[in-house]
Structure 1
Amino acid sequence: MAAIGRRRFLGYVVAAPTLVAAAELGLAPVAEAGQPVAEAGQLLDLNDLMTAAALPTSGLITVEVNPDGTVSFALPRAEVGQGITTSTAMLIAEELAVPLDRVRVTLADARPELVFNQLTGGSNTTFATYTPIRVAAAVARLRLLAAAAAELGVAAKDLTLKDGLISGIDIGDLAAKAASARTRQVAVELAPRQSFTVIGRPHNRIDALDAVTGRKKFTMDLDVPNAKPTMVCRPPTINGKVGSVANLAEVGAMPGVTDVMVISTGVAVRAETFGQCVDAVRALRVSWRPGTAEGKSDESVLRALRAAELPIGLRPPTPVVEATFTFHFRGNSALEPNCAIADVRSDRAEIWSSLKSPIVAQQSIAAKLGLPPGKVTVHVTEGGGSFGRKLFFDAALEAAEVSQKIGKPVKLMWHRADDSRQGRAHPMATSRVRASYLGGTVLSYQQRHTSVATDLSHGLGEIITAMAARLPVGDIGFSQTFFHLSTAMPYDFGVGGQLLGETDRSFNTGSMRNVYSPDVTCARELITDRLASRMGQDPYRFRHRVLRDDRSRAVLAKVAEAGAWGRSMPAGCAQGIAFHAEYKSVSAALVEIDCRPETVGRPIRDGVTGPRVTKVVFAVDVGLAVNPRGLEAQMMGGITDGIALALTSSLHLRDGHFLEASWDNYFYTRQWNTPLELEIIIMPSASDQPGGAGELGVAASMAAVACAYGRATGTMPTSFPINHGTLSFTPKPTIPPIPPSPTDGLSEEI
């Protein structure tokens, strides 16, 4: 066989009655000219690690051509609104030359044989699956052409394949003829970029119509026989436990209630309707034992973080810029609350939920139920948002426990307040930065990021362990490895380094979109502004000068040009600019903010309005953008996240519990604070490979908002979100109410 070239790969025709094709096991994407490269000094990143871990099982993911002319693909990732079912369908449509509406992308059930190939996170889906999916589709194309050539008695090269027809024959009519009685290895050539008609062109989402017309099925929309609404009465403090229940029988006799029982996380109620569940939960009189964060508050956690800070070294003799930044607890704030359906029998179980780590969920549920993993079927449903939250499967575990205890199917949903108060919080953290300089040169940059421990037990820790031999950082623990593989210094700032320290495992934590990068980048960009000021340089021109590569400088220059950097603005208003790189992609944001007291917006407290972001220009270079329209939507969402993290969104911790209970007091970006002017610029690229994009919009936008605020007010912000210090709402009571704090009624300052 001839040597495999840049666009030539090995794949398999799988033994099956109809045409099924797969990529070769262990297929590695072949580097192309112009492929995005890692940032200078970063030889390997988290996306590379996840992709390498997924490759050995890539051949187990198949594309199937059906007799009706449709093409099926079960995607081993979770669609939670990011649009990966659309981009995946585009890859198949390109290689098979079929209309996009004939590609059926579903979500695969938990498949333990995929090992590390079924975890959604790290902006990795398109990056990792781009080549294997195309290779599988190309194998199918090759087989269909061969079958058509035999049918028509002509050479395959003389046939045309367009819109699902091969010289007039529908591919569905060839599906059985193109099938193979045994699995065979074949070589295929992928379509060259210059011939693309689908990839790289903007497309609407394939699920958009169903989503806006209510036909799209989320977990709570599924009709599983006899699965009745179920909710849980939860403790007033984080991870509290049930001591006793005074009125279990009384609540069990309430209208519609079928079952009430104590479970590991509280008291579960199953009823005919969710309204009846809510009434029953509120009626329960539970005596609770203390939780793991008993008595803790923002202030006490902050003291612990400062005490755990890693040393930063002796202060150099040259001038320095130094500051410590605080980032408070935050919630993922997904639109869909945590929910799951479970039907547990004595010898088997079936689970339905939106899960980004379904294999780990299957293993954990099996262990909890005392069943072999093979007896637990886990169906992955589409989710209404995640932002990291659905890497954990708390609702599925609870649903399984309840269903096993009562012997009936359940449809379990968390109350909106449950996730704010008992869910997975993004850890509180501090970041201390010291940069030394002399003249116009930065000599060193040191950053010590200290965080409440991040729980990585959703499967990423196992990937890091399995791939440890490939890591350039040595055995330094899951979180530290994650930190080093996802954060990097894009500027020529001399010697130094960034280190992570962790403390306090008493909280339920999880990753929020972009994990460490928004906080780390925000601190770095604020210090970069301060360095530019000390050196008497313009913030944009200083960054442009010290960025390490032309690609990074290009996105920064583009936002400066498109956003008219340096234009005159009224007092109290300013521009901010910031840069961020991750997973073979680069981005830059220019933000304009209005901090004048008379700014029009929703009052935050006592008629005082908050800063308003009035304009954002955002530029990205992700290499090959599979679906530019989907990429633009991802950046819009990331920008909104960045504004929230900088200005408004946080959880207040008091006496071992969070005060926020829903979106009326968890201040995600509101319509009044959404920029009236928003421009997303997708940079042209000659690359044949996509970079990561799912989280790319957050860090640069958060940092640019912070920098704009500092320039508008004349004071560099050091605590985020900026409005966290003022409690602007009356906390809703817990169930049962928590005794008043000694400070209640004295001050609303947290």
Structure 2
Amino acid sequence: MESPARAADNEERPGLRRRRFLTYLAAAPTLTVVGKMLAEGEAAAATAVPGQLPVPPIADIFDMGDAINLLATPTFGELRLGISENNKVWFELPKTEVGQGINTTVAMILAEEFDAKPTDIAITLADARPELSYSQVTAFSTSVRVLRKPLASMAAAGRARLVTAASKRWNIPANRLSTKDTCVYAPDGRKLTFGELSKDAAKVAIPAVPATPKPPERYHVVGKPLNRLDARDIVTGKASYISDTKIPGSVVAVVVRPPTIGGTVASYDDSAARKMPGVAAVTQIPTGIAVCAENTWQAMEAAKKVEVTWNSGPAATRSGADVAEVLKEKAGSLGDVVSPDGGEFDERFDFAFTSHAPMETGFAVADVGDGKAEVWCASHVPIEVQKAVAEELGLTTTDVTVHVKRAGGSFGRNCHMDAPIEAAQVSKATGKVVKLFWTRNDDTRHGRMRAATHQRVQASVRAGKVRSFHHRVSGAWTDLTHGLGDIVFTALMELGKPAKEAVADVVIGVTQTVPYEFGLATVSGTETDVDLPNTGVMRGVHSVAYRVAEELTVDRIAEHLGQDPVDFRLATLKDDRTKAVLRKVVAEGKWGRPMPKGHAQGIGIHQEYKSMTATLVEIDASDPKNPRVTKALVAIDPGRAINPRGVEAQMQGGLMDGINTVLYAGLHIDDGAVREGSFADFRVARQAQAPRETKVFIMPPTGEPGGVGEISVPASAAAVANAYARVTGTVPRQFPIIH
């Protein structure tokens, strides 16, 4: 823990002020490179002279995916790919399957280069392996961007060695052999399976045929729509999730938690709970009182019998309204950047805290004893889980094994390590193998929340053009202490306010950009500690609120100029790929067609992760308090779609998240307590609120694959917000609208 003296020193030392701190992160490659570029870019903007070309936003040049890809590159040699004697190609996937279908996509990449069927590829989730570093991070829509090239190269090299091994066995020139369906074929029809050749292939030093990946024109698997390989297992219940994990002799644990966020135990009486059927142990941990029993129902019933006196914690005086006022005040400290003398826009928007609300809540299994720990969890950052559990138990990381399991959804929730750390604490205290789970109420009231933000967009319009456009954001602090598989990144978060603000600057800088030619355009943000520590990244991270605020403002500017919103965007967008996806949805959706009373269309665009997307929605707000999106069209240019069907699924899921963000999903905080507890009162779009018609259009390949897991959320959210504004005649300022 940081001493008060050190904290004060960090706060006051001029050398560690926020901007300059960015250039001192010499031990953290991502932050150093990007931080230096941010600092130099801001300095150039601040000292710009008339006629000087504007400095492009950093995210236009180098985004978070580029950073993770760059830092993962040295670890590619640690990836494990092989062929078993039963003729299966196997791969230990260093990414977590959280519903995005990465297993199928990776199988397709490997099958393409091996000339195999995707069903011939066996994918397992890799245990935490520190040597994988940034390769074992599932975040920022980078899984395909990071893995495609190394996997294609590894598979191509493997195929070349298999062909060479067969050539030697048959004494036939390697260039006369062919491969298909995990077999090598001779011209006369003879064949050997990959499994039969695997041992000989491992001994090949120099392949006799090229070991380079195929050019796209030879693809026969990549780019073709494929249903998820695990779809049948999922719908029949065969697929195993973290909540299905069963270890012999384990007990089930639930935690009695405080009524307020961050509350602590003052005293407790567990005598009645211990008498309940099946109860195996009751113990105190930092977050509450853990009750262990033979099964889930027994643990939940016994937990109700524990009587606890609570210390309320630092959040007890906080409410959502208080936080909103703090953030508005903080936004004011960022300063005005346009003068109110006509043609000026000063738009403000507030976004509430909200829950990830995955189908599967927090689960983890831990077995602690004899100086060792074994943990099963579904984490985006298993290496960080390994470190955190080791630190919590006083062990070395080599004494902690972390097994990664499939998650039933996440949306960023599993970036944090709450469940595995608690499971390890309870296992150590009780000496039992513990399967710990969070109830839905636990997850809604004490789980991670997307941080509330106040968005301020200022623009200056002169002579029919936008001359300046400045987006300033004040947000509650987003907890990034989970890190990204880099010990330095994690350590930085413990250095106090300057480090946290520097990290926030970097994340914002490499994710946010203004996609329009709006003269001098800047994006910046600040984060404030509002005594609500249980925040976390959520699908789309900062981009969803940013995009909604900017796209609403763009519609307002277009109206001010007397221009159609689509025409205005097409005239000012910088990127041709973004223009293309916008034109696609506009044409397919018949933008501008007559709509019934109470109905309207809305559009939104977003570019990030080296992908571009546009969404057009139609909304029925005949009753403004009960709006429904009736139709949605999404177009995406993902560079190259490995599995178009998987991309389509991600666009559909992102659309629903966008609808939720704008219309329904938000948390109320009263005196430090979250009011909502379950889906009975935490609103999300159900089938009745889902569009009756949804279409996804995937543009022809334009380059390397970009990210697709989050890209449609911001554009879809913006389209819904714009549609609501058009149909009601009132620009929404607080989100969700139905709150």
Same fold, judged at TM 0.5 (above): yes
> Deviation at 1:318?
4.5
Q: How does 1:111-510 map to 2 (within 5 A)?
A: 111-167=129-185, 168-180=191-203, 188-246=211-269, 248-309=270-331, 310-315=334-339, 317-460=341-484, 462=486, 465=489, 477-507=502-532, 508-510=534-536
- 1:229, 1:410 within 8 Å by CA — same for their partners in 2? yes
- 2:96, 2:379 within 8 Å by CA — same for their partners in 1? yes
* Inter-partner Cα distance in structure 2 for 1:392 and 1:588: 31
2:579 matched to which residue of 1?
Answer: 553
> Deviation at 1:313?
2.9
* Inter-partner Cα distance in structure 1 for 2:184 and 2:485: 47
- AA aligned opposite 2:696: I
2:714 matched to which residue of 1?
Answer: 699
> Deviation at 1:298?
1.1
1:743 matched to which residue of 2?
Answer: none
- 1:332, 1:512 within 8 Å by CA — same for their partners in 2? yes
- 2:625, 2:738 within 8 Å by CA — same for their partners in 1? no
* Inter-partner Cα distance in structure 2 for 1:546 and 1:143: 52
Q: Which piece of structure 1 moves more, 581-590 or 662-671?
A: 662-671
**SS state of the match for residue 576, structure 1?**
strand
1:243-293 deviation digits (Å, cap 9, x = unpaired): 1013x1221121111101111110000101111111111111100001231
**SS state of the match for residue 284, structure 2?**
strand
Instruction: Give unpaired runs (5+ residues) of structure 1.
Output: 1-37, 469-473, 598-607, 725-750
Q: Which piece of structure 1 moves more, 312-321 or 234-243?
A: 312-321
Distance 1:375 1:643, change over 3 A: same
* Inter-partner Cα distance in structure 1 for 2:638 and 2:621: 33
Distance 1:137 1:200, change over 3 A: same
- AA aligned opposite 2:421: L
Distance 1:453 1:269, change over 3 A: same
- AA aligned opposite 1:393: M
The percentage of counterpart residues that share the same residue type is: 41
**SS state of the match for residue 600, structure 2?**
strand
Q: How does 1:94-113 map to 2 (within 5 A)?
A: 94-113=112-131
Match of 2:597 among 566, 571, 577: 571
Asked if 1:658 corresponds to 2:674, the answer is: yes
- 1:109, 1:380 within 8 Å by CA — same for their partners in 2? yes
- AA aligned opposite 1:81: G
Distance 1:571 1:295, change over 3 A: same
* Inter-partner Cα distance in structure 1 for 2:654 and 2:59: 26
* Inter-partner Cα distance in structure 2 for 1:715 and 1:120: 39
* Inter-partner Cα distance in structure 2 for 1:172 and 1:334: 40
- AA aligned opposite 1:519: A
1:449-488 deviation digits (Å, cap 9, x = unpaired): 11000011111394885999xxxxx996111110110111
**SS state of the match for residue 229, structure 2?**
coil
* Inter-partner Cα distance in structure 2 for 1:407 and 1:685: 55
* Inter-partner Cα distance in structure 2 for 1:281 and 1:537: 61
**SS state of the match for residue 57, structure 1?**
helix
* Inter-partner Cα distance in structure 1 for 2:316 and 2:551: 36
Asked if 1:78 corresponds to 2:100, the answer is: no
* Inter-partner Cα distance in structure 1 for 2:490 and 2:297: 46
**SS state of the match for residue 574, structure 1?**
strand
Distance 1:121 1:92, change over 3 A: same
Match of 1:542 among 548, 555, 568: 568
> Deviation at 1:177?
1.2
**SS state of the match for residue 712, structure 2?**
helix
* Inter-partner Cα distance in structure 2 for 1:448 and 1:681: 33
- 1:324, 1:718 within 8 Å by CA — same for their partners in 2? yes
Distance 1:467 1:694, change over 3 A: farther
Asked if 1:614 corresponds to 2:636, the answer is: no
> How much is the aligned-residue C-alpha RMSD, in angstroms?
2.0
- 2:57, 2:509 within 8 Å by CA — same for their partners in 1? no
Q: How does 1:611-650 map to 2 (within 5 A)?
A: 611-650=627-666
- AA aligned opposite 2:448: R
* Inter-partner Cα distance in structure 1 for 2:204 and 2:159: 18
* Inter-partner Cα distance in structure 1 for 2:641 and 2:62: 21
1:11 matched to which residue of 2?
Answer: none
- 2:164, 2:204 within 8 Å by CA — same for their partners in 1? no
More helix by share: 2
- 1:312, 1:448 within 8 Å by CA — same for their partners in 2? no
**SS state of the match for residue 492, structure 1?**
coil
Distance 1:261 1:79, change over 3 A: same
* Inter-partner Cα distance in structure 2 for 1:454 and 1:50: 20
* Inter-partner Cα distance in structure 1 for 2:560 and 2:570: 17
- AA aligned opposite 1:74: E
* Inter-partner Cα distance in structure 1 for 2:609 and 2:162: 36
Asked if 1:590 corresponds to 2:616, the answer is: yes
Distance 1:181 1:557, change over 3 A: closer
Distance 1:370 1:266, change over 3 A: same
* Inter-partner Cα distance in structure 2 for 1:553 and 1:662: 41
> Deviation at 1:571?
2.2
- 2:484, 2:490 within 8 Å by CA — same for their partners in 1? no
Instruction: Give unpaired runs (5+ residues) of structure 2.
Output: 1-55, 186-190, 493-498
- 2:317, 2:672 within 8 Å by CA — same for their partners in 1? yes
- AA aligned opposite 2:142: N
**SS state of the match for residue 283, structure 1?**
coil
1:53-72 deviation digits (Å, cap 9, x = unpaired): 11110111021011111011
Q: Which portions of structure 1, spanning 4 or more consecutive aligned residues, are displaced by more than 2 angstroms?
A: 38-41, 180-188, 460-468
Distance 1:67 1:408, change over 3 A: same
2:41 matched to which residue of 1?
Answer: none
Q: State TM-score, norm by structure 1.
A: 0.87
* Inter-partner Cα distance in structure 1 for 2:353 and 2:500: 28
Distance 1:244 1:504, change over 3 A: same
- 1:312, 1:446 within 8 Å by CA — same for their partners in 2? no
1:21 matched to which residue of 2?
Answer: none
2:51 matched to which residue of 1?
Answer: none
1:684 matched to which residue of 2?
Answer: 700
* Inter-partner Cα distance in structure 2 for 1:534 and 1:497: 21
1:495-529 deviation digits (Å, cap 9, x = unpaired): 03111111125221100101000100000000000
* Inter-partner Cα distance in structure 2 for 1:124 and 1:174: 34
**SS state of the match for residue 199, structure 1?**
coil
> Deviation at 1:297?
0.6
* Inter-partner Cα distance in structure 2 for 1:225 and 1:136: 38
**SS state of the match for residue 354, structure 2?**
coil
> Deviation at 1:609?
5.4
- AA aligned opposite 1:708: A
* Inter-partner Cα distance in structure 2 for 1:436 and 1:314: 6
**SS state of the match for residue 135, structure 2?**
coil
* Inter-partner Cα distance in structure 1 for 2:207 and 2:163: 16
> Deviation at 1:188?
2.2
Distance 1:41 1:398, change over 3 A: closer
* Inter-partner Cα distance in structure 2 for 1:650 and 1:324: 18
Q: State TM-score, norm by structure 2.
A: 0.88
How many residue pairs align between the two structures? 670
